Structure 1
Amino acid sequence: MDKLLFNVLEMIAEFESGLISMRSRKGMEIVQAKGRLRGKQHKPTAKQEVHLIDLHTTGDMT
């Protein structure tokens, strides 16, 4: 009887896990279709860093 109960609980947990991942994937697809999905921000190149520092030191940008 104990094995049966644990197997049923395991099946329910696995089913819920599948639902969560399915909803997450569906949500990501919707956000990506709207164009709002943003990944990790890119680091500026060395040339871009120098340009940004120059802009900051001249007072053109804060």
Structure 2
Amino acid sequence: MTVYETAAVHARELGVLAASGRMSDLDADSLAAAEDLMAGASAVLATAGRLDLIGGAS
């Protein structure tokens, strides 16, 4: 699994937790970190013209 995919799974799981209203401050920090990892990986892939690797247009 790639960094992007791992972060996306983690972000989805934490999103469910947030929707339930049971998110702690640590969980919120973890969600922000996962989103940052996704954004960073997306930027690198965009620069390389390979957004197709994560389901985006290249």
Q: Which has the larger radius of gyration?
A: 1
TM-score (norm 1): 0.46
Higher relative contact order (Cα pairs below 8 Å, separated by 6+ residues): 2
TM-score (norm 2): 0.49
